Structure 1
Amino acid sequence: MATVLPVYPTTRRNVELALVLGAVLIACGAWAVVGLTAEGALPAGLAPYGGGLGALAVVLHLLLRWRAPHADPLLLPVATLLNGLGLVMIHRLDLAEGTGAASRQFVWSALGVAAAGAVVVLVRDHRVLRRYTFTAMVAGLVLLLLPLVPGLGRTINGARIWVGVGDLSFQPGELAKIALAVFFAGYLVVHRDALSLTGTKVLLLRLPRARDLGPILLAWLVSVGVLVLQRDLGTSLLFFGLFVAVLYVSTERVSWIVLGLALFAAGALFAATTMSHVRSRVDAWLHPFEAGNADGGAYQLVQGLYGMANGGLIGTGLDRGRPDIVPYANSDFVYAAFGEELGLVGLFALLLLYVVLVERGMRTAIGVRDGFGKLLAAGLAFSVALQVFVVVGGVTRVIPLTGLTTPFLAAGGSSLVSNWIVVALLLRVSDLARRPAPEVRDGPEPGDTAATQVVRLP
């Protein structure tokens, strides 16, 4: 009789290590190009920067070998490369503006990787998070509304989305999106049958029952409340879009998408007609080159468009453009800065990195075997996709500017830490999704005792 031996899938950890080292080399090469162009010599900070970035990535890689050996091998290299390129552009702008944002961003990078490592080590199984569904809801809402607390919240550039202690400031809404993603996944995995199987069919759509409209109406009201009270269009859009996306994934009903778009359109129309700060952004979007707008509210947008036009197809080269002319080029308009110096080719390369990141997240959602993990991975991946779309759409004048930051690339500690946590959660879910299924025997083998379990993990 032929003997059938079990086949164990490869973990691809060596592939991940090679890609991580390649990502670090690419970022170090870009840093060296900036120094050679600006000063004619290799920059003094190249070794500490490259060594530090490489050490952070390798430590997280080793933690994955230890705690999540079957995790997706592409998520960490892509996040490392994006983080490294963001540091390069922030450093390049530091040389032009005389600031020290790159050193602060590196500190935040270390904190973000440390937070990701903590998630990988402490969260042994992502399904444990389902126990804290409503705790995550409370935490998310508290974080979202924390900037409204007198004495703690700060208003920066017209939006009250920051909390500060002394010279330190943090945007709690970035962490709120993670907590709310956990809540949405935990809530909808329980109630998806009621939301997907009931309702009245009107024309080609099956509309949900009135009592099932509560969650989406609450999400709509909270998102509008954020927009009104905090003057933050970006967080409002991200929060509501995340909820509708997870709702659609859980129910597969197009009616929820249609209803969500209708509610968002109603809220956007209300905001554009009654709120001055939203109306000014819409006006700058529709008429950026009109007299008064180009030198006023649309100045940032116009200068960013001019910079990308100057970059053309292949760009002016690192440190050969003038992205420093654009206000907040290292945060709100870092994508435009890359467009000027790397050109359209460079922008497409960055977008492809985000596509890979989101695609691996969606693949994880498809591959994982529990409903909560599917919704959590899909929600986290979609949050990255939506944030990139909103930022790139605003910079390229597809949609009005919203004030969100480009994940991993833009200067900002809260955004960087939260996105590393998102990657860590996707790694944790992907470990279970790619792990071989348990081997189940039909009966006891010789030598087994009564206490022996019949399920053997490979």
Structure 2
Amino acid sequence: MTTVSNFVPRTRRNVELALLLLAVGIVMLAYVNVGFAVQGQLPIDLITQGAWLLGFAVAFHLVLRWRASYADPLLLPIATLLNGLGIVMIHRLDLANDRIGSTAMAPRQIMWSALAMIIAAGVLVVLRDHRRLRRYMFTLMVAGLVLLLLPMLPGLGQTINGARIWIAIGPFSFQPGEVAKIILTIFFAAYLVQTRDALSLSGRRVLGFPLPRGRDFGPILMVWVVSLLVLVFQSDLGSSLLYFGLFVAMLYVATERISWITIGLLMFCGGAFVAYLLFGHVQQRVLFWLDPWSAEALAQSDQLVRGLMGMAAGGLLGTGLGRGHPQLTYFAESDFIIPSFGEELGLVGLFAILMLYVLLVERGLRTALGTRDGFGKLIAAGLSFSVALQIFVVVGGVTRVIPLTGLTSPFLSAGGSSLLANWTIIALLLRISDHARRPVEDEVVVPLSETVGRGRRNGGGKGEPR
């Protein structure tokens, strides 16, 4: 006997709105705290700053009510809170370094935050169903590789702080690798969901590990290797590690074979050893990791030591916002913004920020588990893993768990490229979560011409577009 349920899941948009108001309130409280600690008075632009953050957050919320009413209610408030706290810390560092007018970084971060939220809302409006992206699988592959190669072009690429990962267009600079990360994640998801059955079948065994057939595994392996080589020659070690971990994680999710984790660890150890032998900047990072207080390391850079001493000065509860000296650490507003928070908010405050990231990743993985199609499951899992890996690499680097790599903290660090990419990740997760939580009878119907699959030959299955 079949039981028919009339249960309709709640959209939870009112919960999202309440959490958004709480997030904006926390950011404004932090902003007031900085004003009293540094300037001894209430910030004169408090209403203006609160209005823009609340306005854009509520506008995004209204877009969700319109286009993705069943989307996860926690993703937007968490991203808004992290973004707002990052702006507060950058503003605090502007005051400490006497950066005013055109040299101030906080107004630029506000501008990029607004633009990033507008683009993310646009993604939700334009992309009614994430499954449509499957039809652009190889186009995305080419676009991702082109974006990675752009910084290598003479006249267009720029070398900043030893890494050639930027392109300059007039007065603006941009890091195309941030966008390439998202595009290649979607390509990996599309290819893996199309060939996952073939990848799960054993071809031949190498050193006791079953490997798939070359014709099935070759194309995606080639794209991954090319991506890593480009990033290595651009001296972007952090992104190389991120791409490697993302690729292995998505392979495991697609095939559910633990052997990929073992193979990935072996490849990582071998590749790290070879990179240490071949590249001087890798040897430098290892030196800073093993003994940052040595005379040889301090002669090259004392950035890591300053960051560690700042966090140690913060102790358990921190010095208080505006009452520490995070400006003494180089790049305190970008690569080392985590030590800046650690000094002024202490271990407790830093753990609270890390828990926000943990919750963000958990909601992304929950979305992946609840999604009814394999393509969406892989995209959500891949994007969630990318955020988790990035924050692990960042925090691990500044605390000497792993060598320092130079990645930025999602939403917190200064930089427009990172904000645009991470808000786009939030938009994609919101779109997929809306599909996962939406009742089947209300689901958007995707025309046959909008999908990549043609029957089971291209990986179509129950609950997936064909």
User: Are positions 1:311 and 2:324 aligned together?
Assistant: no
Tell whether the 8 Å contact from 1:94 to 1:102 is kept in structure 2 after alignment.
Answer: yes
Q: Which moved more, 1:219-228 or 1:69-78?
A: 219-228
Partner of 2:401: 398
Aligned to 2:110: 106
Q: Does residue 68 of the first structure (1) align with residue 68 of the second (2)? A: yes
**Distance in structure 2 (CA, Å) of the matches to 1:206 and 1:314:** 51
| Distance in 1 of aligned mates of 2:125 and 2:380 | 18
Decide whether aligned partners of structure 1 residues 371 and 279 sit closer, same or farther in structure 2, where only a CA change above 3 A counts. same
> Is the CA contact 1:38–1:319 (under 8 Å) kept in the aligned structure 2?
yes
Q: Relative to structure 1, is the Cα distance of residues 205 and 274 closer, same or farther in structure 2, using a 3 angstrom cutoff? A: closer
> Does residue 395 of structure 2 align to residue 373 of structure 1?
no
Give the corresponding residue for 1:154. 158
C-alpha distance in 1 between matches for 2:216 and 2:133: 24
Q: Deviations over 1:212-240 (max 9, x none)?
A: 44246425522441243201101111122
Tell whether 2:126 aligns with 1:122: yes
Corresponding position: 1:417 with 2:420: yes
The aligned counterpart of 1:180 is: 184
Which residue number in structure 2 is paired with residue 230 of structure 1? 234
TM-score, scaled relative to structure 1 = 0.92
Q: 1:216 to 1:273 in 2, by over 3 A?
A: farther
Contact 1:28 1:46 in 2 (8 A): yes
Distance 2:55 2:231 in 1: 40
Displacement of 1:208 = 3.0
Equivalent pairs: percent with the same residue?
A: 64
Rounded Cα–Cα distance in structure 2 between residues aligned with 1:14 and 1:224: 43
Q: Does 1:133 align with 2:137?
A: yes
Q: Relative to structure 2, which stretch is displaced further, 270-279 or 16-25?
A: 270-279
Q: For 2:334, which of 319, 331, 335 is the aligned residue?
A: 331
Residue 443 of structure 1: aligned partner: none
Shift of residue 259, structure 1, vs aligned partner: 1.7
Match of residue 27 from structure 1: 27
Q: Are 2:78 and 2:360, in contact at CA under 8 Å, matched by a contact in 1?
A: yes
Q: Which stretch shows the higher mean deviation, 26-35 or 45-54?
A: 45-54
Q: What amino acid is the match of 1:35?
A: G
Which is worse superposed, 283-292 or 412-421?
Answer: 283-292
1:260 corresponds to which of 261, 264, 283: 264
1:257 Cα deviation (Å)?
Answer: 1.8
CA distance in 1, matches of 2:4, 2:192: 42
Secondary structure at 1:438 match in 2: helix
1:243 matched to which residue of 2?
Answer: 247
Please state how far the C-alpha of 1:181 moved relative to its aligned partner. Answer: 0.8
- Once residues 420 and 88 of structure 1 are traced to their aligned partners in structure 2, the CA distance between those partners, rounded to angstroms, is 18
CA deviation string 1:268-326 (max 9, x = no partner): 111111111111111111110111313423x1100000000000100000011110000
Q: Matches of 2:274 and 2:423 in 1, distance apart?
A: 35
- Find the residue that maps to 1:44 and give its secondary structure: coil
Residues 68-117 of structure 1: CA deviation (Å, up to 9, x unaligned)? 00000000000000000000000000001122100000000001100110
CA RMSD of aligned residues (A): 1.7
Q: 1:4 to 1:388 in 2, by over 3 A?
A: closer
CA distance in 2, matches of 1:220, 1:417: 23
Which secondary structure does the structure 1 equivalent of 2:148 belong to? Answer: helix
TM-score in terms of structure 2 length: 0.91
On the 8 A contact 2:166/2:174 being kept in 1, the answer is yes
> How far, CA to CA, are the matches of 1:355 and 1:249 in structure 2?
19
Residues 219, 243 of structure 1: 8 Å contact kept: no
**1:43 maps to which residue?**
43
Deviations 1:358-392 (CA, angstroms, capped at 9, x unpaired): 00000000001001000010001111001000000
Contact 2:112 2:416 in 1 (8 A): yes
For 2:330, give the aligned amino acid.
P
Is 1:286 paired with 2:262? no
Please give the alpha-carbon distance, in whole angstroms, between the structure 1 residues aligned to 2:110 and 2:240.
28
- Code of the aligned partner of 1:18: A
The 8 Å contact of residues 145 and 227 in structure 2, kept in 1 or not, is answered as: no
Equivalent residue in structure 2 for 1:143, among 141, 147, 164: 147
* Comparing 266-275 and 56-65, the one that deviates more: 266-275
Residue in structure 1 matched with residue 450 of structure 2 by the alignment: none
Tell me the alpha carbon deviations over residues 234-264 of structure 1, each in whole angstroms, 9 at most, x when there is no partner.
Answer: 1111122211111110001112222222222
Q: Is the 8 A contact 1:220 1:263 kept in 2?
A: no
Secondary structure of residue in 1 paired with 2:420: helix
**Cα distance between partner residues in 2 of 1:312 and 1:439:** 52
Distance in 1, matches of 2:214 and 2:10, equals 49
Query: Retained in 1: the 8 A contact 2:204–2:212?
Result: yes
1:339-365 deviations in Å (ceiling 9; x for gaps):
000000011101100011000000000
Question: Against the structure 1 CA distance between its residues 212 and 42, is the aligned structure 2 distance closer, same or farther, given a 3 Å change threshold?
Answer: same
CA contact (8 A) 1:219 1:240 kept: no
Unpaired segments of 5 or more residues in structure 2? 444-466
The CA deviation at 1:433 is: 0.2
CA distance in 1, matches of 2:56, 2:308: 35
Counterpart CA distance in 1 for 2:153 and 2:134 is 29
Shift, 1:7, TM fit = 2.5
Rate the CA distance shift 1:47–1:295 in 2: closer, same or farther, 3 A: farther
- Match for 2:18: what amino acid? A
Partner of 2:296, secondary structure, is coil
